[in-house]
Amino acid sequence: MEIVNKSSFNNALLHRLKIRQNNWRPFDNFPLVLWPYFANEATYAKDYFVRHTHYECWCVYNMKKGKLQIICNGEVYHVKAGETILIPPGPRTITAEEGEAGHCVIGIEGYLLRIILENFGLNRCIIIKDFFTKEYEALFDEIYHLLGKKDPRLSPKLSLLGYAVLMYALRFVPQKNLPVEVILSQQFIQRNLFQKITLQDLCKEAGCSRTRLCALFRQYTSFSPGDYIIEERHKYARDLLASSPNLPVKQIASYCGYRNQLYFASDFKKRTGMTPTLYREKIQKKSLSGDEILKKDSNV
């Protein structure tokens, strides 16, 4: 997976930055559906800032002391000791406001990330109190420890830990008023998009009959379970085509649960009006136009 992160820092105060960090991405052929890319503990001096003009990580900032100002999507947030802020992928500026600001952070990326964030309301900045419990501290410590090992054999475990952080965060975020059977089914679908999913699998996961599950899906999602799975596969495909320009279409088809690339391309065209390759080219042109605007702004 190709992840592009463009960042700048307050170089005048960089020497006063205190940081303890582990970060690692595994070998290229490991499917990074969800991945805890880094875990760190840092202390910023007053007025020290980090500016990300392009950032693909969903981040969990737990404030231990001081105060941070965070600018994200044109909104300004102030986070103080004892609070946690969830920050979605995208541009952001983070500045220490009062004295030293100490915090610990986990950054998660991956092919499935944006779909999960969108589906569960995590695609926005959210400030939470009482987030940093002993349970979360244990998650942080384990991720930090395993990232430091950089052992490919630990990749599946680390990926699951990334998912565990997202599921932990969901406890603190108000959700749509969906029946538990639908929520369990949605989570199962997101974890298994890359392989065959049957209605029997969903019924077993949700603990209900086919008739009830189909009725609930139509009532709360406007899709049958089968159509919902296809819709999620294509959301995933569009996200992969946009975020990973070097990932072969054949591999994207496989990650989305299609064994036949030609069938995937045909199905994709029916839904979007263009082939996967053409869709990717169109997205890249839009991205290049945005980069040109950024360059012009930086020269002002």
**In degrees to the nearest 10, what's the CA dihedral of 5, 135, 156, 84?**
-10
Give how far Cα 263 sits from Cα of 40, 149, 224, 246, 267, Å. 43, 40, 21, 21, 6
pLDDT for res 300: 30
- Dihedral sign of CA atoms 97, 101, 103, 108 in order: positive
| 63: nearest Cα among 22, 94, 89 | 94
User: What does each C-alpha distance from 294 to 6, 54, 124, 290 come to in angstroms?
Assistant: 12, 11, 22, 6
Strand-pair category, 92-96 with 49-54? antiparallel
pLDDT score for 295: 41
pLDDT given for residue 176 in this prediction = 67
Query: Would you call 146 helix, strand, or coil by DSSP?
Result: helix
The CATH number corresponding to 6-170 among 2.60.120.10, 3.50.50.60, 3.40.50.620, 2.60.40.650 equals: 2.60.120.10
Q: What is the pLDDT of residue 297?
A: 37
59 close to 106: Cβ distance less than 8 angstroms = yes
Helix or strand holding residue 23 (H, E): strand 18-23
The whole-number pLDDT of residue 87 equals 95
- φ/ψ of residue 49, rounded to 5: -135, 155
What the block records as the tokens of 48 is 């020290």
Q: Which candidate, 254, 260, 211, places its Cα nearest to that of 199?
A: 211
For residue 299, the model assigns a pLDDT of 37
Contact (CB, 8 A) for 214 and 200: no
Range list for CATH 2.60.120.10 in the chain: 6-170
Task: Give 290's contacts (C-beta < 8 A, 6+ positions apart).
Answer: none
Which alpha helices (DSSP H) does the chain contain, by range? 113-119, 134-149, 155-170, 180-191, 199-206, 210-221, 225-243, 249-255, 261-272, 276-298
* pTM across the whole model: 0.67
Q: What is the pLDDT along the chain (300 residues), one digit of tens a residue?
A: 444 556 888 999 989 999 999 999 887 656 677 899 999 999 999 999 999 877 789 999 999 999 999 998 778 899 999 999 999 988 889 999 988 999 999 999 988 888 888 878 898 899 999 999 999 999 999 999 999 999 989 998 999 999 999 999 988 987 667 898 998 898 889 888 888 999 999 999 999 999 999 999 998 888 999 999 999 899 888 878 876 777 899 989 988 889 899 999 999 999 889 999 999 888 777 654 444 433 443 333
Q: For residue 264, what is the DSSP state?
A: H
Q: Which CATH number fits domain 180-283: 1.10.3720.10, 1.10.645.10, 3.90.1150.10, 1.10.10.60?
A: 1.10.10.60
Residue 160 DSSP SS3: helix
Q: Where in the chain is the domain with CATH 1.10.10.60?
A: 180-283
Virtual CA dihedral for 49, 52, 58, 63, nearest 10 degrees?
Answer: 0
Tokens for 10, please give them.
């307050």
Distances (CA, A) of 281 to 105, 234, 254, 288: 35, 17, 20, 11
Q: Are 119 and 220 in contact (CB under 8 A)?
A: no
